[in-house]
Amino acid sequence: MLKCAVCGGPMVGDAGFYTCINKKKHLKKCTNNKMSSANLDRNVLSFVKSTLLDRTHFEKVIASTKKAYQEEIKKTSKDAKRLQKQIVEIDAKIERNMILFERGTIKAEIIEQRIIKLEAEKQEIEETLQNDQNIITAVEIAESELNDKAIKSYIDKFEELLDDSNEDLMRNFLQTFIHKIELHGRENGKRKSRRLVNIHGFIPTLTGITFASPRGVEPLLQDRKS
C-alpha cells in the first residue's frame, strides 16, 4: 500500500521506519529518505479522520456520487431508446416480409428464413434492453438512498471505527479505504522540510459500490522526527 514516490518501489517497515525497498536493498538508485512509521501512521490517520468526519466532505462525495449516478442513468436511458427504435425497425421489416408472403411473390422458405433471422435479432436486442432497464432501476435505488440520513449514518460509522482504542479495526478499515499512499522525498534534500504524501482512496457507499474519489487527497505533512 505504501509506495515510494521517487522510484515507484514499495516502502517497507524497518525498525520503526518506512524505507524504500529499492534503496534499502540497493536494487535501484533512489534518493528517497526513510520516515518514522509512527509519524506517518499518526499523520495519515489524523488526516483521514479530519477529512472523513467532515460533513462538507461527505456532502461533496455524495453530490459527486449522485452526479455520477445521474450520468449513468442518462447514458443508459439513451442506449435503451436506441434499442427500442431498433426493435420498431425490425418489426417493420417483419411486417413487410409478411406482406410479401401474402402476395406470394417470393418463395415461402425464403420469407421464413428472413423472419427467423429477424426474430433472433429482435430477441437479442430485447435482452440487452432488459439489462439496460435493470441497470437504470438499480442505479435509481442507489441514488435514492443517498440522502441526509445516509450522511449521518456514515459519520457515525466512521467515528466509531476511527476511535483510537480500536486500533486493529481502524487499521483494517483504513486498508479498505486507502489503496495507495505515496511518500515523497524531502524538498531539496533538506533535513527540516515538509514532505508530500499522496493518499489515494475509495469512498465505499452504502450500497457497497466502491467509488474512487476524483483526485485522491494530497495533504502536506510536516516530517518532524526523521
Number of residues binding to Zn ion, judged by CB under 5 A: 8
C-alpha cell at 102: 401474402
Question: Does residue number 65 form part of the binding site for Zn ion (CB under 5 A)?
Answer: no
As a whole number of angstroms, the distance between CA 212 and CA 79 comes to 25
Q: By CB under 5 A, which span of 1-9, 48-56, 155-163, 216-224 interacts with Zn ion?
A: 1-9
Question: Does residue number 2 form part of the binding site for Zn ion (CB under 5 A)?
Answer: no
Which pairing describes strands 178-183 and 2-4: parallel, antiparallel, or unpaired? Answer: parallel
Question: Does residue number 20 form part of the binding site for Zn ion (CB under 5 A)?
Answer: yes
Question: Does residue number 7 form part of the binding site for Zn ion (CB under 5 A)?
Answer: yes
Question: Does residue number 35 form part of the binding site for Zn ion (CB under 5 A)?
Answer: no
Cα dihedral across residues 109, 113, 119, 122: positive or negative: negative
Q: Give the shortest CB-128-to-Zn ion separation in angstroms.
A: 48
Q: Give the shortest CB-81-to-Zn ion separation in angstroms.
A: 52
Question: Does residue number 185 form part of the binding site for Zn ion (CB under 5 A)?
Answer: no
Nearer to Zn ion, 4 or 170 (CB): 4
Question: Does residue number 183 form part of the binding site for Zn ion (CB under 5 A)?
Answer: no
C-alpha of 134 from chain center: 20
Contact residue for Zn ion among 2, 17, 18, 30 (CB under 5 A):
30
Q: Where are the alpha helices (DSSP H) in the chain?
A: 21-24, 37-52, 55-103, 108-144, 148-161, 167-177
Three-state secondary structure call for residue 187: helix
C-alpha cell at 44: 495519515
**Residues that bind Zn ion in the complex, under the rule CB under 5 A:** 4, 6-7, 9, 20, 22, 30, 32
